[in-house]
Structure formats: C-alpha cells, structure tokens
Amino acid sequence: MPTIDVNKKEFLKHLKSSGLTMEKALLLIKGEIKGEDELFLKIDIADTNRPDLFTLEGIARQLLSFSQKKHFTSDFLHKQPGYKLEILPSVEKVRPFAGAFLAHGCTLNEDGLDSLIRIQEKLGDTIGRRRRKVGIGIYDATTIKFPVRYGAFSPESHQFTPLGSETEMTLEEILKRHPKGVEYGNTLLGAAKYPLFIDAEDKILSFPPIINSKRTGEVKVGMDYLFIEATGTEQKAVILSLNVLAAALSFRGAMIERIEASYPYQTPVGRSQPVPAQLMSKPLMLRVAEAKKMLGIEIDAEEISDALLRFGYEFEKSGDTFKILAPYYRSDVMHQYDVIEDLALARGYDNFSPLSLSDFTIGNILPEEEAADRVGNIFVGMGFQEIISNMLVNTSFSSHCMLEKEYPYVEVENVMSESYSGVRHWLIPSLLKVEMESSSTPYPHRIFEVGEVVIRETRGKSNHDSIRTGLSNGVNEEIHIAALLSGPGITFNDAHRALRSLMEELSIPYELREINHNSFIKGRCGAIEIAGSKKGIIGEIFPEVLSRWSIKMPVSVFEITQPPALLKRHKGTKAQRHRGTEAQRNKS
Amino acid sequence: MDVKKIGAKLSSRESLLLKNLPKSSFSETEVTSPGKLSSGEITGTLGWLKTKDLIKEEKEVRRTLVSITDRGKELLEKGMPELKIMDLLRQGKMDIGRLSHLVNIQKEELNPILSSMKKRNVISFGKGGIILKLEEKEEYEKTEGLLRKLRNSYLRVEDLSGEERKIVSMMSRKRGKEKEIFRVREEVVRHYRLTPQGAALQNYLLKEGIEETISALTAEMLENEFWRNRDFKEYNIKIIPPPQQMGRRHPYALFLSWIRRKLMAMGFKEMKGNIVEPEFWNNDALFMPQDHPAREMHDVYFVKEPKTATELPGDLVDRVAQTHINGWQTGSTGWGYKFDKERTRRLVLRSQGTAISARMLASKPEIPGKYFAIARCFRYDRVDATHAPDFYQIEGIVLSQDINLRHLLELLRLFALDIAGSEEIKFVPYYFPFTEPSIEVQFKHPRLGWMELGGAGMFRKEVTLPLGIDVPVIAWGLGLDRMAMVTLGIRDIRDLFTSDLGKIQRMKSK
C-alpha cells in the first residue's frame, strides 16, 4: 500500500477547517499514520484504488467535502479544449497513449511546488507502475508554442539538453548515461523508436517518460502557467493520472484548461480525447433497495443524497434509483456496491449494530486434519515432540545432504534467498535440520512432523483429483507423516518399534520390503508397504548424510506417504488389527 | 532428641562418613575415606551432613596450590629446550633453522625462548648464527627439578622455597596461557566440627552398628519379604529432580486445532486448497487486475517448473476475463484493460488463502453455507522477525440469501470475543480488491493495545457471479501467525517454525 508524505502544516490547517477529528479523518481516507517528522506526516493509504488520496490536496478535498459538503468545481470538464496535442502514428507501437492540460492562475509557492513534484513521483510509482504504465511531465507553459506533437523517433535522430545536464545528448546517450535514463530506461525496453514531445517551433519539450528538457521542463517557484502531460501504455490510467493532477491543482486555485489529444489511430475512447475528462462513459445506477439489502439498514433517499454529496458524486434521483457519476478523479467506482460502501462510511461503521447469523449450518473438520490430529496424539503418547517446519527449504542443499538421486522439488523462479528456494517434497530433511540445530538438547531426541509436501513428478502422472481443477501438470500435494529418533545407541529397531506401534494403533497392517536408498545404510532401509504398494520408507541414516548435515549422533527415521484417506479406510475392525499384528510376528 | 529417627534419614554414605569423623575440629581434606569415596564425594557428603545439622562449619581456609600442566609434563618428558639449546651451542654457533631442526621445535615457538635467553645474556645473535655466551644452566635445571617434584601431586605455595616461588611466578608469566607449565590455583578448604547432635548420632551409630535401611525397593525384596521389620530410608522429597523428557504437541499445532474446533462450533466446514496454484485461482478469479502490484515478482513466488497449469475450466476463465475487461453480466464497468488469458495458467505458490474460497465458490457450495480454511501461504519477502518464508492464514466465507454488512460485523465481533478474547473492537474501513465494503477489525489486547485481527468484507459481484454464486458472500481472513505469537508469547515469527528443539520444548502452550 502506498505511503505518502503530506505537508504537516497544510494538512493540519485543512483538518482544522474540516472540523473533523484526526481519527475520523483517517477512517474516511482509509489511512494510518506511520510516522512524522518536523515537516511531514507519513500516511499509509490502504485503498490502492484511490490515487486521488495519494495527494495532500485529494485528502484535504475529501475531508472538506465530507464535513461541509463543500463543492469543488469541475466546470472545466465541460469546456471546449482550446489547444491540441497531436499524436503521431509512430508512437502507436511504442507508447500509444498521451494526454495533457494547462493550469494557470495559481502561482506556485514552495509548498505547492513540493506537493506537485510529490504527486508526479507518487503517481508515476503507483498507478504508473514505475512510469511503465504512466509517466508524467510538468513544464513551464510560457515557453511552449502550441500545438504540441507527441511522436516517436529513431534513437540518434534528435538531441537536446536534458534536465540535470549541461550538454546536449542524443536519446540513446540519455538512456545510457543520464541517471533518469538508467533508472527508467526499461520502460522503453525493446522499442526501436523513442517518444518525444515537440512543440510547434520544433523545440523538444521532453523524452517521456524519462526526462524533460532543461529549457522548458524546469519548474520553479513563482511560475503560474503550467503544461502537464502524461504518456503511457494504458489510456484509462493516463487520463486518471491527469485527472488527479488537475484536481490537485484546481484545489490550490488553478484554472484548468483542457487540451484535446487527437489520435491518428483508434483508441478505446475514440480518436479524440480531451483531458481532464470524466472516466465513466455512462452513469451508474444505484438502487435504494440494493443499498438497504447490502447494508442491512433502513436508509432513505435523503440520507443517500446527503452521503453522495459528501463524497463528491454527481447524481440525479429518479424514483427508487439514483443515476450517479463518480467524481472525475476517481476510477474505483465500478459497481453500485462501491457507492454503497461510501454510504456506509458516511453513516460510520460504529452506527451499524451487529446482527446474528440465523442460518443453521453444520460444521466439520477435514478428515485429513482429524487424522493428523490423531496421529499427533499417538506420537505424543510414544514420547515424541511435534515439529512444524517451514515448507520452503534450501532445495539444492537438502538434495546434496540427502544424496538424492532424483530431484522432485518444485522450485521458485524468483528466489529471494537460497535458504528458501523451493518446496519440500518429503519431511525427513526437515527433521534432520532440527537435529542439525539441536545438538545441545539432551538426547535421545524423538521428534515427528505431520505436514504437507509438494512433489514434482519427474516421471509418470499426477494424481490430483478432479475437484482440484487444473493441476494435471505433474505436481502432487500430499500430507506425510515422519518421525526421527536420535541419540547414543539409537538404531533401525527404535524407528521400527515406533512405526509398529503407530500402525497398530491406527489399525493399518503393513510390511517392510528391503530396498536401497542413498540416504540410508544399506541393509537397514525398507519400503513401508500397505496393501501391497509402497507408502513410505524407514531406515537408519547413512553416516555420509549425517556428516553433511553436521549431525554427530546415530539417527533412524521413517516417513509415511500414506494419503490420509487411506488412514480412514483402514480404521479398523479388531480382526484386521489382529491379522496385521500376526503378520508382523510371523515375519520377525 | 531421637537420634534413631535422624539416623533413618541418613544415606548409607552419610552414616558411613559420620562414623569416621574425628571428635575434634577437622578439615575436609583430612577426612579419610572409609569406603571408596572420592574427595568430591566426601565434600558433597559433608555438605549434606551440614544441612542436617550434624556438623557445623568452623572456618574456611584459602590456600594457593601449584601443580604442573600437561605442557609441563611434556617438558619433563622431552627436557627443557633451553638446556638442549645450550648443549647444542656449546659445540659452536648455529643458525636458527638448524637449531629448530635439532631441538625439534617450530621456529615460531623457538623464537620467544631464544629472545628470553638473549635477554638474560645467555646467548647472542652473531654473524652466521647464535652463540652461547654464558653457561647458566642452574636456573633451568632448577625449573626442571621443580617440575619433577610436582609431577604427581601439588604443593602449597607456602611450602615452596623462595627460589622455587620465583621460578613459578616467572614461568607462568613468561609464556602465553597455553604454554604455561605451572598452574597456580586457589582452593577453599572448609573446617568442620561435630555438633552435639552429630556427636550423639555418631555415638549411637558406633554403638548400635548401622542397621541397613532400605533404599530402593526391589522386586526381589518383595519376593523374599526382605522389607519386613526393616526401616525405609526416608527421602528428602523437596529435592528438584531433572525434568521428564516429554512427548508434546507443537504449541502452534494445538493453537491451530483449537481454532479449527472454534470454527466448527460456529458451523463452519473446513476447505482444502492447493499450495501450487494457477494465477487464475490465486488472483484472476478474485478480480485482482493482472498488473496489480501484489501479483508481481516482488510479492509472489512463481514456480520455476512446471510453469503453467495444463487445464483450467474454460467457461470460468472466459467469464472472469470478461468481468475484468468490461464487467460481464455483473453490473460492473470492469477494469477495462487487455486481459491475458495465458497469464491465468501461470503457476505460483499460493499467496493468499482467499484462493481457496474462490475455488469453493466455483465448486457448488451449500447455500446457506459456511466454510473456512487454514492455509500455508507464501510471499516474496525478506525473512525477518515479522516475516516468515511461509505462514498460516485462516480464511472463510459465509453464503446466504439474507446476509448483509451487519451480519459480517457480528461475525467479526464473535471472532474477536471467541478467538482473541476481546470485547473491545473497532471496525476500520479498509480496501481489498475482492471485497466491497471492506473492513479491518482491530481488537484491544490488554497488554499490547490495539491490534489487527484480520480483514473482511462482502465479496464483490465481480468475484461471485462469474463463479456461479448469486447470493451475498461474506469473506473474512484472520492473521494467525501474529495472533499465535501473542498467545504463545513469541516475539520473533521465525520461532513459530524453529528447528531448535530446545526452543520448541520451552514454548508454552496456550
């Protein structure tokens, strides 16, 4: 969520004139104060979909409009644009959307300029996605001759002196050497031509979204006529950014003059788009009955009208329906429910009395969780301590330590830290990690874990059931049960004793079949077979494996890969249980 | 005074020692061992007799003891290097390399020895080698003599001659700690005297002989009835024994299963989801726009291989895509951007439990119905005291024709009361891409003040309608790890998943 710095002095002035308490104000803007210094308050804005609140002006407007139903003009939206922004065909494949407007009559003081720069940066970072989707430029309009053109040109065709430089540079040089070029160059990755704003006298205004020219693009205190443009890859976001900026400047008293962007190609909103502009193509219908139903309250047209005014909506009431236009600087109003939330905010959540659910429903716990619980309690009875490990592990280290022949790990592509490079596919390494870190705890150690694992099938098919749609991609998710014993004198037999008792308690007959596995001592390792198929492994850990984990005690383990569904199916009759035990006795 | 009764409380070791104690004042080092007691055992047993008021401590005498170290013993075996060097140099000057070879001492060790010899003018470094200047063996020989004297025992400093004391102090100063050949240590010797009670008991024991009291009762004793007419040694039942090794559930597992039972009691059915999820379920179905920051590399773990899910329900994907683009039939304007259907198949590690709720909505849930899931989730975050690489979330939904915001508030109030144990709660307006209205619940913790309990809201129509649900759906998620940390008194989230067995064993359960 965005954190914004607002000028403390200005904010407190507006808060005071709104008459709201700080707490109420923060509720209204879904904000939380994260910190402050002498000059600024740091506010986290939870609503990532309300960029108008990423500005001091937007916050102040919301507070004043809410508390005093103060009306802020948007008359300029209905005026014919006086100037044109001509968009050339060459940008269609590079950065196809642009818009611009003029602001005058509001002399920039230091606070105003600082705020404007902050808005430009914040919008570029957030809805602009670090200028990729939208980048914004601000200019001294007195130096510009209209109409302004927006086109794309080959990297070496033009040169100009960018802000922050004393000499002329080509576009290619700017991307390579200018700090902003280095920082934002990736927004133009792969483009054969680079965009430029050029005025009627062929003077370069800027190389968007990288850097302005020094001549027109240096904004200073005392200026009162500004040209503001935005370019990007999404038209709605471009318009929204300019709307938010226009609203902020208008709040500071500026006159906003629209500029018409004319396109040589078709865009989602046609070939001509004046900015700022209302984003909703048609009004939204709010039904009073729907508001009542959603909020569970009695609310009349009067209260609704009042709330709509406080949130700056334009509306028309006809019967039981309100025809609504959201303020031009808001794009989050997509559905009548977005308006209904504002009705709830206007009333305040404190004024809603909670209401008990009346539907009768039967609760349950997943059978596998019940089974896991049962297994856990059996282990506790056998003196084992339960472990809960992270599911993300250091896959290559784990594989190396275990001397694994196969590599069934699901790994992540964007690794943050090698310690968490992928998901575990069995539990024994997690338990060995516990051993590695617990040599100072008195022995013997008896530990177990019941937990999820993810196995990438390197051969064969996945067995995902069909309710988990869309994953027949060779990834299996299972719940495993693993136990580990370590200490002086611990052998295979100790692990087998625990396995035997566990299985008897669960009434699951099993057999062991000798197998070889790199992680275990040869001749002391077996497959746990249930109803004739392999459902786990048991064995004494091979000393080389212990050494790789830096473990200095003998360790024996077992892991059951038995899906919990089977645990249930075998929940057994006495006869079954008896037979299982007999089978074991006969074998040994 | 019933000496017999006191005698019954003595261990056999104690009564044995007591019988052997002299009548007059004695020091603990003077007590002769009647059985095979080591000096440590004697000291310990005297301590016990003292706590039973049978002897009393008169004074403590400190003494300084000198003994030789392993290094000293080694020197004794190999001979003093200085003496060897003098012997060798007597035959003529010699360079340091050869000397090192002949005395069999590494140069680094040899150098300090040589420089101390030079300081005493015994040798000098001349052209072409080291020259013996002065034959002064006496001191080294004396050192060797002292080493021999101390080979098998120790002596009190007071018992050494002045010269010997000088050697000891010099030799323990001259060389580094590891190289020391003498060890000087302080020892405290306690002096005791029998108390009148002790003397009486000693008398009694000597006169009557020691009647064997039964210590550990054995099966044999029961079998042959040995115990009849005998006294049992009485135990000091206040002694704290070492702890019992325990089998224990993990406190976090208990916490989770407690939460499960709470929710079941409220009529919630448990759902199960996937860890590896296509973005469709993790994000798209939840109406999160495809360029939402929370969907980027810096927030979500993408699976390296396989990269994509092979099949997704095509009709669902179509409806969700349309909803993103223009709202489909939901009454929404939609996000209005180019929806990339390929992107929906991209596999990620589940980043939010809400993915499970989305799947449940698409699986013909009961209406009215209540569902919950406890889910391991994964986020791309630097791991620190407040961020674990994977963590638990609890998620839930309530579906019913007749539910509204006020029911949601009541549900959250119940959670706060039942799970966080707090009656003081606050509903704070919040934002989630998939709910509207959206609320964050905070509760007042008696010690830590206002804390976040979780987020909730009514699912957007853009979420429910494409998945085939046309009734209101309450969705909620509570932060489990944070609450577990508070409940279990843990300050670092990594400790919830620690591999340190000792730490887990010390973790208190709720």
pLDDT, tens only, A220-266: 999 999 999 999 999 999 999 999 999 999 999 999 999 999 999 99
Q: Residue for token digits 């340190």?
A: B500
Per-residue pLDDT, A107: 86
> What's B116's domain CATH number?
1.10.10
Kindly list the residues from chain B whose CB atom is less than 8 angstroms away from the CB atom of residue A365: 260-261, 264, 270
Kindly state the tokens that stand for A373.
């619980």
Prior bond of A179 cis (ω within 30°)? no
Domain limits at A197? 75-275
Residue A359 lies in a domain: no
Kindly list the residues from chain A whose CB atom is less than 8 angstroms away from the CB atom of residue B436: 335, 337-338, 340-341
Minimal C-alpha gap between B477 and chain A (Å): 16
Residue B312 lies in a domain: yes
Q: Supply φ then ψ for residue B183, to 5 degrees.
A: -120, 130
Q: Which of these three, A26, A46, A68, is where a domain ends? A: A68
d(CA B124, CA B129): 9
Per-residue pLDDT, B353: 93
Same domain, A32 and A116: no
Distances (CA, A) of B40 to B31, B65, B192, B314: 12, 17, 16, 82
Tens digit of each residue's pLDDT (9 = 90 or more) over B413-447: 999 888 888 888 999 999 999 999 999 999 888 88
Same domain, A322 and A257: no
Residue A261 lies in a domain: yes
Residue A356 lies in a domain: no
Kindly state the tokens that stand for A59.
């916050």
The distance between the two most distant Cα atoms of chain B, rounded to a whole number of Å, is 112
Is the confidence at residue B372, as pLDDT, over 80?
Answer: yes
Three-state secondary structure call for residue B461: helix
Average pLDDT, chain A: 90
Residue B30 lies in a domain: yes
Average pLDDT, chain B: 87
Same domain, B289 and B414: yes
Is the confidence at residue A581, as pLDDT, over 50?
Answer: no
Is the confidence at residue A25, as pLDDT, over 60?
Answer: yes
Minimal C-alpha gap between A417 and chain B (Å): 8
Helical residues (DSSP H) of B376-435, grouped into ranges: 405-418
> With a CB-CB cutoff of 8 Å, which residues 227-266 of chain B face chain A?
245-250, 252-253, 257, 260-261, 263-266
d(CA A311, CA A71): 10
Task: Select the residue of B273, B403, B429 nearest A349 (Cβ to Cβ).
Answer: B429
Kindly list the residues from chain B whose CB atom is less than 8 angstroms away from the CB atom of residue A362: 267, 269
Per-residue pLDDT, A78: 92
Nearby residues of A17 by Cβ (< 8 Å), 6 or more positions away? A64
d(CA A17, CA A523): 84
Q: Supply φ then ψ for residue A428, to 5 degrees.
A: -55, -45
Same domain, B150 and B237: no
Structure letter (DSSP) for residue A331: -
Nearest CA in chain A to B327: A334
Q: Structural domain tally of chain A? A: 4
Helices A367-381 and B251-265 meet at what angle, rounded to 10?
A: 140
Kindly list the residues from chain A whose CB atom is less than 8 angstroms away from the CB atom of residue B509: none
Same domain, B214 and B93: no
Minimal C-alpha gap between A45 and chain B (Å): 9
Same domain, A538 and A430: yes
Three-state secondary structure call for residue A545: helix
Helical residues (DSSP H) of A458-542, grouped into ranges: 492-506
Same domain, B276 and B349: yes
What share of chain A has pLDDT > 70, as a percent? Answer: 93
Nearby residues of B133 by Cβ (< 8 Å), 6 or more positions away? B121, B122, B123, B124
Kindly list the residues from chain A whose CB atom is less than 8 angstroms away from the CB atom of residue B271: 366
Contact predicate B439/B429, CB 8 Å? yes
Describe the strand order of the beta sheet including A533-541 as a list of residue ranges: A385-386, A445-456, A475-486, A555-560, A533-541, A520-530, A511-514
Same domain, A190 and A159: yes
Give, rounded to a whole angstrom, the gap between the first and last alpha carbons of chain B: 51
> What's A198's domain CATH number?
3.50.40.10
Is the confidence at residue A575, as pLDDT, over 60?
Answer: no
Domain limits at B350? 253-506
Residue A360 lies in a domain: no
Average pLDDT over residues A494-503: 96
Minimal C-alpha gap between A437 and chain B (Å): 5
Kindly state the tokens that stand for A127.
């809805």
> What's A35's domain CATH number?
3.30.56.10
Same domain, A59 and A83: no
Nearest CA in chain B to A268: B336
Q: Find the range with the poorest average confidence among A86-90, B139-143, B366-370.
A: B139-143
Per-residue pLDDT, A566: 52
Is the confidence at residue A583, as pLDDT, over 70?
Answer: no
d(CA A286, CA A340): 8
Q: Shortest CA distance to B363 belongs to which of B266, B271, B460?
A: B271
Is the confidence at residue A69, as pLDDT, over 80?
Answer: yes
Same domain, A126 and A157: yes
Average pLDDT over residues B464-468: 97
The DSSP bridge partners found for residue B429 are B439
Minimal C-alpha gap between A246 and chain B (Å): 22
Three-state secondary structure call for residue B79: coil
Is the confidence at residue A588, as pLDDT, over 50?
Answer: no
Per-residue pLDDT, A586: 45
Q: How confident is the model at residue A20 (pLDDT cuts 50, 70, 90)?
A: very high
Q: Which of these three, A237, A252, A275, is where a domain ends? A: A275
Q: Structural domain tally of chain B? A: 3
Q: How confident is the model at residue A567 (pLDDT cuts 50, 70, 90)?
A: low
Residue A447 lies in a domain: yes
Kindly state the tokens that stand for B480.
């489990």
Torsion of CA A406, A411, A413, A417, to 10 degrees: -110
Is the confidence at residue B178, as pLDDT, over 70?
Answer: no
Residue B55 lies in a domain: no
What share of chain A has pLDDT > 90, as a percent? Answer: 83
Same domain, A186 and A215: yes
Residue A357 lies in a domain: no
Residue B158 lies in a domain: yes
Per-residue pLDDT, B113: 81
Three-state secondary structure call for residue B407: helix
Residue A361 lies in a domain: no
